[in-house]
């Protein structure tokens, strides 16, 4: 907020009776020059503007449906465009001048009415073009200004805690009432301890920016959980080296992934390819009959209608771009799976807004359509689902490497044949026996979760993001090992949500994918997805080698057990 002080000009005399020009008088003078009365002229141009606008919109819709090029104009269409421009210029000139004059008049009135004041304070906030929240006035109040904004009567902390405990002040409203997020968390924490009779000692409160999570990451905070971040790497992927941050409390995980990165590096690196990039959302709608539901299905799947639906969908965001629509029928219920690119955002909110636009548009032709829910689980989000395993969701990535036989022996402490056999019997056959869905791997979820926590992703989306099939095959006459991971639904973003928090932002910056890529929107999140797949490849290599060599139990006993006296904990 910028504050500037402007002294009033002493040369301007004050006169309460001095007549000032008004916008209405100026408008009246302007109307005297018109050949027709003012109301008739305004009515004519109003009618002309909306009539030709409706005509042009109707023609645009017809051309879209018949695939007629928009630049081919008839005489009537050209005349309508000219009429639209002319009426717009008239209305803008008449009412625009009137608005500016009224604004100037109000401003000059305020200046004239100031008497015996040496200075006037003007407040400008370039970030708030419409309004500024009360909390911003409280937290950003300059010392030189005394803005009397106190939503909550002044009370000491003890009284506030008692009010929360008694229920007089709802816990969720502390931030808005106090205007201080840290104090709100402190009051809520103390009230919680008194209500439950249990201590939160050990859960840190200080040292965290609670303003950064207000309204977007976490509600009613009472502290934050500390998760250590380790570094695995360098991971040599597509010719570039990456130090991979992993937030975890599982011993051996970072060390094991690091060993896999070492084996990949010593063998010349891994190659990762992005197969597709599209976030999905699938609303469920209901009709009175299955026949009517199928009519909408055929309408949505008709290529002639896709361009129109694309225009409607894409207007929700400058990054959202509709890629495809897939429908499924269950009786008289229709499930519509929309897929779209979302730039560098993970994109759930973006695709949901686009879907809502399309549903509103469809109700013009299908007014009896009953929208049951914006999400009908055909998406499918945060649940293991065959549709994600087969069709993909988010980023679909395949990553591969050829590990030299000497590296397998010296770094991984096993043999190529042992790894191939173990992968066949464990990751493929064993997972099939278990009826696994997308779980044809050793521990992809371990690596995915650790990177997700470190980089501010949605931890719950680890469910589908960990879908992975690990393949191992002996090559070069059995001397070397070809290993690959195929992951069809890695859901990551580099903007929005937890990615903007300081710690998570630092981890993204370490990988070189912080924020949005302005030159190539979407490339940062796509690179992050390939890094996740490359890290999973490293983790699979190391764990499978440990199992093949019989080292798994030994290593976990060494690195994943506390040496402290557990009887003294708690």
- Cα–Cα distances in angstroms (integers) from residue 362 to residues 239, 314, 359, in the given order: 48, 15, 5
Q: How far, rounded to the nearest angstrom, does the alpha carbon of residue 397 sit from its chain's CA centroid?
A: 20
Q: Pairing state of beta strands 333-341 and 370-373?
A: unpaired
Residue 382 designated active-site: yes
Strand intervals (E) in 364-459: 370-373, 394-403, 439-440
Residue 127 designated active-site: no
CB neighbours of 350 closer than 8 A, spacing ≥ 6?
A: 279, 316, 317, 319, 320, 340, 342, 343
Q: Which of 26, 125, 250, 400 is catalytic?
A: 250
Residue 274, exposed/middle/buried by CB under 10 A (0-12, 13-18, 19+)?
Answer: middle
Rounded-to-integer distance, Cα 423 and Cα 440, Å: 9
∠ CA 249-252-258, nearest 5°, is 110
Rounded-to-integer distance, Cα 63 and Cα 304, Å: 11
Query: Under a CB-based contact definition with an 8 Å cutoff, are residues 476 and 434 in contact?
Result: no
Query: Under a CB-based contact definition with an 8 Å cutoff, are residues 361 and 296 in contact?
Result: no
Q: Can you read off the two tokens belonging to residue 285?
A: 């709608």
Rounded-to-integer distance, Cα 174 and Cα 509, Å: 33
CB neighbours of 385 closer than 8 A, spacing ≥ 6?
A: 377, 437, 464
Q: Pick from 414, 419, 464: which is nearest to 444 by CA?
A: 464
| Kind plus residue range of the DSSP H or E element containing 275 | strand 271-281
CB neighbours of 242 closer than 8 A, spacing ≥ 6?
A: 233, 234, 235, 511, 512, 531, 534
Rounded-to-integer distance, Cα 55 and Cα 345, Å: 38
- Helices marked H in 246-287: 253-266
Q: Which of 297, 382, 413, 426 is catalytic?
A: 382
Rounded-to-integer distance, Cα 194 and Cα 161, Å: 9
Rounded-to-integer distance, Cα 237 and Cα 268, Å: 9
Rounded-to-integer distance, Cα 478 and Cα 226, Å: 46
Give the CB-side neighbour count of residue 132, counting CA atoms within 13 A.
16
Residue 241 designated active-site: no
Q: Which of 180, 400, 458, 473 is catalytic?
A: 458
Which residues face 485 on adjacent strands? 399, 470
Report helix, strand and coil shares of the chain as percent, to nearest 5: 50, 20, 35
Q: Can you read off the two tokens belonging to residue 55?
A: 């005509």
Q: Pick from 208, 259, 207: which is nearest to 232 by CA?
A: 259
Residue 421 designated active-site: no
Looking up tokens 């570039």 gives 240
- Supply the residues annotated as catalytic: 250, 382, 458, 556
């Amino acid at each position: 907020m910028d504050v500037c002080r402007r002294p009033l000009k002493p040369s301007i005399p004050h006169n309460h009776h001095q007549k000032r020009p008004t916008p209405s008088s100026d408008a009246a003078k302007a109307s005297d020059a018109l050949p027709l009365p003012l109301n008739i002229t305004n009515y004519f141009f109003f009618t002309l503007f909306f009539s030709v606008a409706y005509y042009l919109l109707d023609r645009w819709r017809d051309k879209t449906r018949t695939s007629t090029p928009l630049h081919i104009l008839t005489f009537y269409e050209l005349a309508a465009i000219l009429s639209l421009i002319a009426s717009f210029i008239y209305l803008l000139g008449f009412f625009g001048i009137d608005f500016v004059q009224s604004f100037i008049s109000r401003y000059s009135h305020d200046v004239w009415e100031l008497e015996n004041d040496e200075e006037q304070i003007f407040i400008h906030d370039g970030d708030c073009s419409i309004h500024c929240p009360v909390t911003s006035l409280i937290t950003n109040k300059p010392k030189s200004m005394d803005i009397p904004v106190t939503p909550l009567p002044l009370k000491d902390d003890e009284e506030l805690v008692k009010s929360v405990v008694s229920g007089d002040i709802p816990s969720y409203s502390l931030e808005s009432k106090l205007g201080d997020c840290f104090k709100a968390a402190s009051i809520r924490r103390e009230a919680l301890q008194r209500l439950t009779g249990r201590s939160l000692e050990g859960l840190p409160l200080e040292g965290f920016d609670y303003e950064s999570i207000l309204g977007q990451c976490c509600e009613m905070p009472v502290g934050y959980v500390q998760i250590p971040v380790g570094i695995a790497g360098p991971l040599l992927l597509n010719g570039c080296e990456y130090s991979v941050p992993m937030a975890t409390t599982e011993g051996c995980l970072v060390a094991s992934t690091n060993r896999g990165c070492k084996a990949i590096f010593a063998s010349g690196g891994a190659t990762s390819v992005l197969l597709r990039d599209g976030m999905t959302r699938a609303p469920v709608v209901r009709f009175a009959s299955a026949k009517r539901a199928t009519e909408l299905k055929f309408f949505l799947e008709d290529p002639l209608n896709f361009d129109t639906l694309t225009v409607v969908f894409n207007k929700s965001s400058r990054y959202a771009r509709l890629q495809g629509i897939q429908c499924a029928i269950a009786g008289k219920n229709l499930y519509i799976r929309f897929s779209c690119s979302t730039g560098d955002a993970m994109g759930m909110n973006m695709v949901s807004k686009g879907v809502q636009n399309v549903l509103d548009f469809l109700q013009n032709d299908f007014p009896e359509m009953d929208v049951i829910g914006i999400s009908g689980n055909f998406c499918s989000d945060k649940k293991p689902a065959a549709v994600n395993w087969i069709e993909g969701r988010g980023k679909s990535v395949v990553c591969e490497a050829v590990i030299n036989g000497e590296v397998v022996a010296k770094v991984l402490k096993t043999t190529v044949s042992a790894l191939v056999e173990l992968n066949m019997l464990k990751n493929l056959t064993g997972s099939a026996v278990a009826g696994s869905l997308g779980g044809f791997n050793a521990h992809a979820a371990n690596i995915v979760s650790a990177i997700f926590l470190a980089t501010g992703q949605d931890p719950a989306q680890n469910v589908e993001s960990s879908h992975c099939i690990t393949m191992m095959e002996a090559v070069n006459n059995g001397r070397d090992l070809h290993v690959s991971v195929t992951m069809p639904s890695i859901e990551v973003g580099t903007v929005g949500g937890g990615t903007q928090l300081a710690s998570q932002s630092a981890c993204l910056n370490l990988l070189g994918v912080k924020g949005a890529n302005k030159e190539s929107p979407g490339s940062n999140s796509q690179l992050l997805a390939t890094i996740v797949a490359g890290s999973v490849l490293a983790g699979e290599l190391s764990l499978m080698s440990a199992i093949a060599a019989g080292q798994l139990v030994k290593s976990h006993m060494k690195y994943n057990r506390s040496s402290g006296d557990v009887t003294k904990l708690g």
